[in-house]
Amino acid sequence: MTTLCPACWRVVPHDARRCSHCGADITILHERDFRDKLMAALTHPIADTVIRAALALAARRDPEASRAIETAMRRFPNEPHVLAGLLSALIVVADDDARRIALDALGHRSFIVRRAAAPVLEHIGRPASETECARREL
């Protein structure tokens, strides 16, 4: 059986006392609320950890997930692959904030970010006003 290290979010054995990846004392960290750990992980210096935390928050359908992910995205304005990873979490969240963030990402200078925003909007749906405009153009 495995679990996730609450510091680096990598897979560790269920009964591990110390993370074999980052060395964190898992027994102390496990006492923190899981949601607090995920929110804290969004400020982690390693982008991969931030993306994993975003995906976990999204999977929990946390009501603050979109805004927390948006805040995390601001830390990586020039890293398209990180932004794309964070945008992928918004597909699961699928709320109005996720839509707004994805629409904003369509204006990003990197096609990687724009391409990552498209499936978010396909999943959530575009705003009704924009859909009507598209219908009139047909």
Binding site for Zn ion (CB under 5 A): 5, 7-8, 19, 21-22, 24
Nearer to Zn ion, 12 or 105 (CB): 12
Structural contact between residues 79 and 51, judged by C-beta atoms closer than 8 angstroms:
no
* Residue owning tokens 């839509």: 99
Minimum gap (Å) between residue 4 Cβ and Zn ion: 8
Minimum gap (Å) between residue 38 Cβ and Zn ion: 14
Minimum gap (Å) between residue 1 Cβ and Zn ion: 17
Minimum gap (Å) between residue 136 Cβ and Zn ion: 53
For the record, the structure tokens of 50 come out as 């931030």
Nearer to Zn ion, 19 or 83 (CB): 19
End-to-end Cα, the chain, rounded Å? 55
For the record, the structure tokens of 109 come out as 């200078």
Half-sphere exposure of 79 (CA within 13 A, CB side): 14
With the C-alpha atoms ordered 34, 40, 42, 47, is the resulting torsion angle positive or negative? negative
Nearer to Zn ion, 24 or 112 (CB): 24
Nearer to Zn ion, 33 or 137 (CB): 33
Q: What is the DSSP letter of 89?
A: H
